[in-house]
Chains A and B, each alone.
Chain A
């Protein structure tokens, strides 16, 4: 029994330790490919934004990637968005297939969100294929989303539920850079129906992304300006959330 407890603790620590990067590769517009030298990558970014429901918010996100081989890697991440009271963890396993001069990645991802002010826990499972060329990246996948309200009203407990599993949601994303992917700096545009810790039913995010190599220690700075309207596919895209993310990537 004790052994199991230790095993569980070790798994939990591993998850926490690796839980720092799965989301950052969504924000970061550079290459995800293992460069053959640096097996470890760590990302950390700050986020500041405004949301129609929660008002202004700020927070941080961090992630860690370990490349085991040229093809296999694992990434874990976390985020805490204060004022919005949103706390998240995730873990992603990735397999890469080289395809001509591009790479095809297959991601399997599990994430958990805690929307504290509404007492809602959300579980996300996503499987996606990600094609990365020199200028363009494309993502196509499917998400399974389940959420439940933690405290169900006592009087309703006998006959009602406070949980919901959504039908599968398609994940689509497109990014375009103006310079080749491994250029020391790059600027790009993206459009997608997801972000680091959420997958939406056809609310289309879009915005600008940027990254540049800093002159010391293989460190990179990256940034993203994310416009997240509501009602895009109702053809009434309306201001819902805007956020600016600025972060650093370090590899060793």
Chain B
């Protein structure tokens, strides 16, 4: 066969494979082959928008208030499609056990508008239950917390109540230009939250929650510049940390847990940069998702937990898919697994 003909045949075969691949609906929902060479959404735009949103809403900055010991839940990779059972269960568990907040490590829903509508309804329902449980009506429009030992809370409307669910953005959330859908619900992909803990001895302690936009496998120039400018530093001028505990939430994982893992993780330089930065921030624990595999390790005094997926399609049997982090006011933090009993669809 002449060389030219062979080349044309090879090219046609490759194109045919591409067309067949893209036309397979189930695969196409999950996979975007073009994204291997060039993404449709840029981390620079996301961080830029998130930081502007943060600056424009400084008055509404979220502070979480705790009294002594408290706990929070962390879940990862729920990949909500048509069955949001596990997300619903996570909200119910938190409400039942009075966790202070929920953190989600990204890939909360696959990129499709119907899935985001399902997710938004789920969050609205969970918020309704949360308000019923934790607030009482002061008048026709205003609510006050059932328990407020701090005296910090002013009466607020239903819309002003922040449902304490804080996600980071994951790659599947936005693979097919899904940033518009994600940001419409959550607004910001790069942010921080402070927890003020009123301790039993009458003093206060501050804990720091850092949510990074790592969906693209890099923080990007803008996020790194902001970090280098010190927006997340949390230190007094003498270099001492303001915070008792610092927790970092990132979609992309730092450590690769196993050989047969075909997702991109951070590049070499960025891995070493982040390991160094977490150490500098005096981080207690870094929570990661992305690879659907459990991993726990300690590197230079920082604890790293990579969570398995809580998605029904990937893990259909009941199991320990989310974590509860316990903050003990006697200066230590620890985690316990939380069992989820909802069952995914049976595999055909």
Contacts and interface: CB of A to CB of B under 8 A. Distances in A.
Contacts of B276: 118-119
A119 B280 CA distance: 13
A109 interface: no
Most buried by A among B218, B220, B276, B298: B218
B264 A152 contact: no
B145 interface: no
> How big is chain B's contact interface, by range?
35 or more
Contact of A233 (B41, B255, B262, B272): B262
Nearest to B33: A235
A37 interface: no
Interface string A212-236: 0000000000000000111111111
B42 interface: yes
A3 B268 CA distance: 39
Interface string A168-187: 11000000000000000000
A54 interface: yes
B263 A233 contact: yes
Q: Which of A86, A113, A230 has the largest count of B CB atoms less than 10 A from its CB?
A: A230
Contact of A234 (B216, B224, B267): B216
Contacts of B186: none
Contact of B217 (A84, A149, A231): A231
B268 A115 contact: yes
A239 B38 CA distance: 9
Contact of B259 (A86, A115, A167): A167
A155 B263 CA distance: 35
Given A53-B224, A201-B256, A202-B264, A237 B218 contact: no
A160 B171 CA distance: 32
B257 interface: yes
Interface residues of A, number: 48
A196 interface: no
**Is chain B's binding surface mostly helix, strand, loop or mixed?**
loop
Interface string A108-126: 0000010100111010000
Contacts, number: 147
B13 to A, nearest CB: 15
A229 to B, nearest CB: 8
Contact of A201 (B171, B261, B270): B261
A74 to B, nearest CB: 26
Interface string B212-244: 000111111100100000000000000000000
A164 B297 CA distance: 9
B227 to A, nearest CB: 11
Contact of A228 (B37, B262, B267): B267
B257 A167 contact: yes
B298 A160 contact: yes
B300 A231 contact: no
A86 B32 CA distance: 34
- The CB with the most chain B CB atoms within 10 A, among A54, A86, A231, is that of A231
Contact of A203 (B175, B217, B221): B217
A204 interface: yes
Contacts of A230: 216-218, 264, 266-267, 270
Contact of B267 (A149, A152, A203, A236): A203
Nearest to B170: A234
A161 B171 contact: no
A167 B262 CA distance: 12
Nearest to A197: B268
14 contacts: A115-B272, A152-B300, A160-B299, A166-B256, A229-B37, A232-B37, A234-B35, A234-B215, A234-B252, A236-B217, A237-B39, A238-B220, A240-B217, A240-B218
Interface of A: 51-54, 84, 86, 113, 115, 118-120, 122, 147, 149, 152-153, 155-156, 159-162, 164, 166-169, 198, 200-204, 206, 228-241
